[in-house]
Structure 1
Amino acid sequence: MSEKELKKTSAYVWFDAEFTSLELDAARLLQVAVIITDNELNRLHPESADLNLCIRLEEGEQVSAWVEENLSGLVAQCRTGGAVTLEEADARIAAMLDRYAGTPCAEMSDRPVLAGNSVHNDWFLMRRFLPQFAGRLHYRLLDVSTLKIQWMDWVGREPFDKESIELLNQYCPGGGIDAANAHDALFDIKASIAELAFYRSGLTTN
């Protein structure tokens, strides 16, 4: 009997979100971003198709004091006509997956995997507010934070410096990361992709 062929992950759906509060039980989505890659971290779509959406804050809807102080620019954008509803964001992300990741998939093993840093937080709110998106994903998560912990504990080396634009552009396939956009959701996705590429390169040579 021939050895069963290893089935690799069909795609990584890199997802990052900003929230209205750090208390997840009370939080809503404020911004969402998506990039889809293959398992070698190469984009499956043009860079122009990267998704980065501000979610509309309805009149009178409040955010936490921390968010108001630290993400004031984003909060202002979410109160403009350019922001989208949660329903529109869900539909646009689902359409992106259908076009570039071949969803929906009947078999769980064929579905793409959600990827990011501490991505369980994003998964928690995504399942609540973005049901079309959630329904297209595998139940497994790719959390770069896991590799970071192993890198420090097992390899015994300093973790990837996500504040270094030079390192981010060195390790993120395609580069093009601009410091001016630091720490919005799309920037954070690119930083997570670069971080995973960094740990992969080190773990395969140690």
Structure 2
Amino acid sequence: MSETIKKTSAYVWFDAEFTSLELDQARLLQVAVIVTDHQLNRIHPEEADLNLCIKLADGEPVSDWVEENLSGLVAQCRSDEAVTLEEADQQITALLDQYCGTPCNEMADRPVLAGNSVHNDWFLMRKFLPQFGSRLHYRLLDVSTIKILWQDWVGQAPFDKESVEQLNQYFPGGGISSANAHDALFDIKASIAELNFYRSKLNLK
């Protein structure tokens, strides 16, 4: 008699934009969250997706690259629409508590953090969003790992995140109007689409 394999309870797709790529000095500028099941379908309605700008004090430094390339985001973080780290932590944990049944006593029941190069986001999440971190499994689902194996073992070009047509083909429900790299909410939608692309090409169901 074969053993029944327990599926992961949920994937918590998370992406963040930082003040600097030097993670030891970096602070969060933007965080976004979408929660899916293991089939990559949203567990919550689209309007519950989180996309939060984190309050940045006047004069608080950002890297030259961020100042040049994410000036609009930096301005939002210095506006009244931005939230504190504590408020962001509360909103994310409320989403998980409602749709993932967290907190979970058993590690095996906890949802898994997912994204592209998600170890970077995990590092700052653990530092600045402790309630969120306490609700997650210790494992990470990193789409970048599958991208590397797809290129190295399958020998084909990776998913094109700049193709809106391809994004909508593989993101469940579609609805992506434009490619917008370095926006946290777009980046997690692109990561979900990318994983779904590899899944379909490899016939993994």
TM over 0.5: yes
Deviation, 1:183, is: 3.5
Match of 1:174 in 2: 173
Q: In the aligned structure 2, how far is the partner of 1:161 from the partner of 1:59?
A: 37
What 5-or-longer segments of structure 2 have no aligned partner? none
What 5-or-longer segments of structure 1 have no aligned partner? none
Q: In the aligned structure 2, how far is the partner of 1:24 from the partner of 1:51?
A: 23
Q: Provide the TM-score with structure 1 as the length reference.
A: 0.97
Q: In the aligned structure 2, how far is the partner of 1:3 from the partner of 1:147?
A: 28
Q: In the aligned structure 1, how far is the partner of 2:62 from the partner of 2:155?
A: 40
Superposition pairs of residues 191-202 of structure 1, within 5 angstroms:
191-202=190-201
Aligned alpha-carbon RMSD (Å): 1.1
Q: In the aligned structure 2, how far is the partner of 1:71 from the partner of 1:94?
A: 27
Match of 2:29 in 1: 30
Q: In the aligned structure 1, how far is the partner of 2:180 from the partner of 2:126?
A: 27
Task: Tell me if the contact between 2:179 and 2:186 (Cα under 8 Å) persists in the aligned partners.
Answer: no
Q: In the aligned structure 2, how far is the partner of 1:183 from the partner of 1:62?
A: 19
State yes or no: 1:203 paired with 2:202.
yes
State yes or no: 1:54 paired with 2:49.
no
Q: Provide the TM-score with structure 2 as the length reference.
A: 0.97
Deviation, 1:182, is: 4.7
Q: Please state whether the residue corresponding to 1:15 is helix, strand or coil.
A: strand
After superposition, give the CA deviation of every residue in 1:83-109 in whole Å (9 maximum; x if it has no partner): 000000001000000001111100000
Match of 1:15 in 2: 14
Match of 2:156 in 1: 157
Superposition pairs of residues 129-144 of structure 1, within 5 angstroms:
129-144=128-143
Task: Tell me if the contact between 2:163 and 2:179 (Cα under 8 Å) persists in the aligned partners.
Answer: no
Deviation, 1:174, is: 0.5
Deviation, 1:5, is: 1.1
Q: In the aligned structure 2, how far is the partner of 1:180 from the partner of 1:121?
A: 22
Structure 1 segments (4+ residues) deviating >2 Å? 180-183
Task: Tell me if the contact between 2:162 and 2:179 (Cα under 8 Å) persists in the aligned partners.
Answer: no
Q: In the aligned structure 2, how far is the partner of 1:58 from the partner of 1:199?
A: 41
Q: In the aligned structure 2, how far is the partner of 1:171 from the partner of 1:81?
A: 35
Q: In the aligned structure 1, how far is the partner of 2:72 from the partner of 2:165?
A: 25
Alignment: residue pair count: 204
